[in-house]
Chains A and B, each alone.
Chain A
């Protein structure tokens, strides 16, 4: 967890829960809030959420694990998501993914040893006429060939 916060994890989680007071079915918005704050959803939040929302720990855990978005561990400094949807496959997405894996020396879902880059797959970014599509730290890029991907990763790294 990030240093420099005087509040405990529990207090920060409770504050996020409070921010969603009055919303119906608020577990997903809360989990998004937790991921935005901490960069991932730590196991330690499960009992806090269970208590705050008055549901079982198993239920909270079940929801967290159901959705691909909620990370169990922090991502690397740069998160690269390569689209593997059919429209991007039609213009070379599988090659691009293979290139990214070779280049970074990791497989899909892994982070490079130094914690620099996390490589993820995603099925469609809604940019299917301008594929292959890639998201780098949440920003969408189209027509990404292998060279452009290398440039994008280098630029993200330099920031």
Chain B
């Protein structure tokens, strides 16, 4: 009897969205000798999904993108021995896309079986938690502060400083809440981490809980992520059985209970105070700060609120020490960021690398330019509230302060690429529409201003009193920036104004026959409006 060959077919929902389940089934039924199919997370090379990997003596050989109908041919070509085929990519770890990265937070994603305890521990899992438990909470806070780790949810607040506030707050009951609402278009790293390495998030939350003195935690996952919800719930059950959760964790005196809560389709619930209201079972109305959640958070108790990636970076920081993390990056942006290449991009997916890489390197070298093959015209970084950056500014380094200085934001690291068929007046209109749709309604500039904003852009597009309406739009933006309680209303002007500033030609009156094209410029003859060919 030969030992079964291990074949990896991702269970990540992006891979499933293009047929990974069907491919896994085809491999299982057509294999002519014993195989073991592991449903791993995705390596993040999403244009190659479904990416099938075969474990060989030399390492894991990849094939992709594989369609179910390719499976017979692949097996005939000797895929189970790493045989040659036009879909054969070679050793996955040696592919330029992988070699060019510095995977810390995503070290295990795509490599291991997400729900295998053995895999987790064999690949360095729990080392960070064990090292933390050997130290005092204050020492852990000190180490995380020294690493320079900043919040990955958008605002970039230093994680250690937040934890210190909670640690020093008095009270028998404190919480750790993980923000897994990931509402920004162009972002999917939280989802992939939860689906691909859920124990890592649990370990990060445990370390946060130990450091801050919290005994109860919640992961607030958006309802649009059913696979992530299922995987996290399954991981929590397994962690309980391992005594990684519950009482006396790993033989220490630490207790921690962890629960998954599911959002209900409200973008604003990603704002931390809105999320806390939602966790309390209320409407997701944004709270005025102060008090800050660190002092008065969930049910008024001291609460650590951190993004998935922030918390999932902590085990590595604790395992390898602050210095190793802090040694990466530039200026005040330390460590690595998990960038997400999205939209009209030839090679979309996850690029984890030190801060400081330029936007252009990410888009052109990793991403291979647009998926349509047309020139890049605009890039939106940081989600729906992020600025549109023109193709001429792609030398901008990915660094919180450099982006802020350029009137843009890194946010959650989502990079959405548009080709030259994009109509930037329409994108400005959408920013206002989105704000009108998703505003929590507490303040007038946001709630009413955004509705007015849509009307004004419509008039500009229709060519009515262009100059007056452009001034009006500018005034509305100012009102929203100055008069909004949170960044929803406060930052919606960022995409709108950046579109007006960098792409003013799109805001020129267009003639009646040209409603669908790009105003002021001829519509390219071959403008592709469908998706790029797979």
Encode contact with A along B3-40: 1 for CB under 8 Å, 0 otherwise.
00000000001101110000000000000000000000
Our pick among B259, B264, B422 for the contact of A90 (Cβ within 8 Å) is: B422
Q: Are A140 and B185 in contact (CB under 8 A)?
A: no
Q: Is A47 an interface residue (CB 8 A)?
A: no
Cα–Cα distance between A90 and B424 once the two chains are bound (Å) = 11
The A42-70 residues at the B interface (CB cut-off 8 A) are 59, 62-63, 66-70
Q: How far is the CB of B430 from chain A (nearest CB, A)?
A: 7
Instruction: Tell me which residues across on chain A come within 8 A of B371, comparing CB atoms.
Output: 91
Residue of A nearest to B189 (CB): A126
Complex alpha-carbon distance, A25 and B259, angstroms: 12
Q: Interface size of A by Cβ–Cβ distance < 8 Å?
A: 47
> B340 touching A129 by the CB < 8 A rule?
yes
Number of interface residues of B (CB under 8 A): 67
- Say which one of B143-151, B202-210, B219-227, B479-487 lies at the interface with A: B219-227
Q: In the bound complex, do residue A67 and residue B266 qualify as a contact, i.e. CB atoms below 8 Å apart? A: yes
What chain A residues lie within 8 Å of B430 (beta carbons)?
86, 89
Assess whether A85 is in contact with B280, with CB atoms less than 8 Å apart.
Answer: no
**CB under 8 Å from chain B, chain A span 66-108:** 66-70, 85-92, 95
| A129 nearest CB neighbor, chain B only | B348
For the complex, give the distance between the alpha carbons of A91 and B372 in Å: 8
> Is there contact, CB below 8 Å, between A130 and B416?
no
Give 1 or 0 for each of B240-278: 1 = CB within 8 Å of chain A CB: 000000000000000000010111111100000000001
Judge whether B264 and A67 touch: CB under 8 Å: yes
The smallest C-beta distance from B484 to any residue of chain A, in angstroms, reads 19
The reply on A9 being an interface residue by CB < 8 A is: no
Report the nearest B residue to A90, measured CB to CB: B343
Residues on A with C-beta less than 8 A from B348 are 128-130
B332-370 interface code vs A (CB 8 A; 1 in, 0 out): 000000001111110011000000000000000000000
Question: Is residue B414 contacting chain A, with contact meaning CB distance below 8 A?
Answer: yes
> Top 5 nearest A-B pairs by Cβ distance?
A129-B348, A85-B185, A27-B281, A67-B264, A90-B343
Q: A67-B264, A86-B380, A122-B224 are known contacts; what are 6 more A-B pairs with Cβ within 8 Å?
A: A24-B299, A89-B343, A126-B187, A126-B191, A140-B227, A146-B530
A-B contact pairs, 22 of them (CB 8 A): A23-B259, A25-B282, A28-B281, A62-B283, A63-B283, A66-B283, A67-B284, A85-B185, A87-B343, A92-B529, A123-B384, A126-B191, A126-B224, A128-B186, A128-B340, A128-B416, A129-B342, A129-B345, A130-B348, A142-B17, A143-B531, A145-B530
Binding site for A on B (CB under 8 A): 13-14, 16-18, 46-47, 49, 182-188, 191, 223-228, 259, 261-267, 278-284, 299, 340-345, 348-349, 371-372, 380, 384, 414, 416-419, 422, 427, 430, 434, 437-438, 528-532, 534
